[in-house]
A and B are shown apart, each in its own frame.
Chain A
Amino acid sequence: MTFKTLMMTTVATLGLAAAAQAQTVGFSQIGSESGWRAAETTLTKQQAEERGIDLKFSDAQQKQENQIAAMRNFIAQGVDAILIAPVVATGWDSILAEAKEAEIPVVLLDRKVDSSDDMYLTAVGSDLVHEGEVAGKWLVDTVGDKDCRVVELQGTTGSSPAIDRKTGFEKGIAGHDNIEIVRSQTGDFTRSVGKEVMESFLQAENGGENICALYAHNDDMAVGAIQAIKEAGLLPGKDILVVSIDGVPDIFKAMSEGEANATVELTPNMAGPAFDALAAYWKDGTMPPKFIQTDSALYTMQDDPAGQYEARKDLGY
């Protein structure tokens, strides 16, 4: 085994002088402010291990200066590529120029920067509008021609996921006049506010009898709302359809118990597509597109939610 690896490495070294040995990639993560980010870190490490990439990990604790210092460090060490989840959008020009000078490709994960796009190799991320659209389309397909009064739990007012996921959903249901958003309020992306706001929706809509579906901008709010629906004596998933976005373990648990209907996954596996793009680039200099959109997969009750829960619960969400 070792011999084989050794042989292969030797062959590779002889064959492709520049891009040869086990690749070293530096990864500057924002921090661990949410469960999703923790899962992203876990998955990035897993993906690197699977591909035999030596990953150097640096946690910036929400500070841009830490990320810049980490990148400078990576450049000094002469890594083969840098992955970065930038904490803010501005102020990256000079460090990206340093990386470019050292001919180290930089891949942005999940967030974008304001610098011109020839400063980095590519950006991997999710399209928030598309996520909302997938959720909207699911509802359109599910209710068919029946009239459906939808209540919406928005994310934090003014945040870009809240704005984009709202726009996307409206796009998804556009042209279907039988579906109408009757109430829309912010649930602040949290479980407790989601529950509180859902309670008021239920009160305002005749104890919930006038509500056909709930659309929540994230799963946590949906989990809170599901409890509110249960406490009002209704069956979530049947009396009121529940669709949300993110794909955290707890929503899969709710789905396996028949209390949620669908979720659109915001995959924490941003590193997989990034490593794929890098592999192609290292191999023959293929330039990837400037934005690689991750898959916004739809999961419903038919997609083995119990199994999905088991697969996700240890990722650090």
Chain B
Amino acid sequence: MIRSLRRVAPQLMTLVVLAALVSWFFPSFLQIDMSDGRLVGPVIDILKRGAPVAILAVGMTLVVATGGIDLSVGTVMAITGAVAASALVSGWGVPVALILAVGAGMIAGLWNGCLVAVLGIQPIVATLILMTAGRGIAQLITEGRILTYSDTGFGFLGSGSILGIPVPALLWVLTGVLVALLMRRTALGLLVEAVGVNKRASALAGVNARGLIIVVYMASGLCAALAGIIATADIRGADANNAGLWLELDAILAVVIGGNSLLGGRFSIAASVLGAMIIQTIDTGILLAGFPSEYNLVIKAVLVLAILMIQSPHLASEWALIRMQIARRRAAREQEV
């Protein structure tokens, strides 16, 4: 427990600093009220708005841990959202819509996994294929328009709340906890890390590396499907052009802010979802602070750069080196005198 807390300490500290920073611009940032039996406040908004990226980050962490990357998740969100919305519009009901959407996500993951594990295509190229083509598939399903449905049961997944907490927030916490438990309470996490560190060696040691990689991409597809369902439920419609646009990059960023190496190996799901919350805090903070919109992206980039620089192990050792040199020079000068 203490060890895992120490692992996520940098992320938690970053969140605290960011919260302080946003509070400076927007004093009632941490205030949470109760209205109509649901919690409201900027922090609750962050927990809710950060759901898609947090869920994507869970799947992405596993893929990254095997030394891969999944660029297609944003597009898979659009596809699964389109599938769910068209099922609802056709009047097939919520359960069928959910099953079809999740199925579509897992098929997308299976496709990616097979390209990577069976055909041996580099992950960034393999998933790029679906990233580009997938949005076209989504547009074919929605016929290029925003498919609007009127089912309130499905909308509950995006904007409902249980015990005052928004459903999307519950969903990402649940996904994160379940996957983390599955990885850490069984040997699965260790096997994933083994494949990421050295695929050949782990295969020689008897790990079914190929199967594991396919499963990991399917898990990422499943997470993308969940995120797509939330996004579609949130706006009561499937927007094939814009749903999940560029979110794959936010998900990768969340994994990186979470301190996971893109080269594969050791991973922490908790740190990744905290990374997602950090990104969302920046996004919401910028909106609350009320700067002109031209500054949004610049502010975000500067903050992300600062966070990554502070986390950089290279920079830390470099700092130590510079300090040592200064000390040595000073000592030498003192000797001369």
Is A233 touching B36 in the complex (CB atoms < 8 A)? yes
Is B35 touching A233 in the complex (CB atoms < 8 A)? yes
B145 at the binding interface (Cβ < 8 Å): yes
With A and B bound together, what is the CA distance between A32 and B36 in angstroms?
43
A34 at the binding interface (Cβ < 8 Å): yes
Residues of A within 8 A of B49 (CB): 196, 199
B233-257 interface (Cβ within 8 A of A): 234-237, 239, 241-243
Is A192 touching B40 in the complex (CB atoms < 8 A)? no
Report whether over half of chain A's contact residues are helix, strand or loop; otherwise say mixed.
Answer: helix
CB distance from A255 to the nearest CB of B (A): 14
CB distance from A240 to the nearest CB of B (A): 16
A62 at the binding interface (Cβ < 8 Å): no
- Contacting residue for A203 out of B45, B234, B242, CB 8 A: B45
With A and B bound together, what is the CA distance between A213 and B231 in angstroms?
26
Known A-B contacts A32-B144, A34-B241, A192-B242; the reply to A199 vs B235 at CB < 8 A is no
Residues of B within 8 A of A137 (CB): none
Residues of B within 8 A of A207 (CB): 33, 35, 40
CB distance from B203 to the nearest CB of A (A): 42
Is A200 touching B288 in the complex (CB atoms < 8 A)? yes
- Contacting residue for B145 out of A35, A199, A200, CB 8 A: A35
With A and B bound together, what is the CA distance between A154 and B41 in angstroms?
23
B148 at the binding interface (Cβ < 8 Å): yes
Residues of B within 8 A of A201 (CB): 287
A183 to B, closest residue via Cβ: B290
Known A-B contacts A227-B159, A233-B35; the reply to A191 vs B146 at CB < 8 A is yes
Known A-B contacts A38-B145, A185-B287, A191-B239; the reply to A232 vs B40 at CB < 8 A is yes
- Contacting residue for A317 out of B145, B231, B288, CB 8 A: B145
With A and B bound together, what is the CA distance between A186 and B286 in angstroms?
11
In the complex, 30 of the A-B residue pairs with CB atoms within 8 angstroms, ordered by the A residue number, are: A34-B241, A38-B144, A158-B294, A184-B292, A185-B293, A185-B296, A186-B296, A191-B235, A191-B237, A191-B242, A192-B231, A192-B243, A196-B287, A199-B45, A199-B49, A200-B284, A200-B288, A203-B40, A203-B41, A203-B42, A204-B288, A204-B290, A207-B35, A207-B40, A227-B234, A227-B236, A231-B159, A233-B36, A316-B143, A316-B145
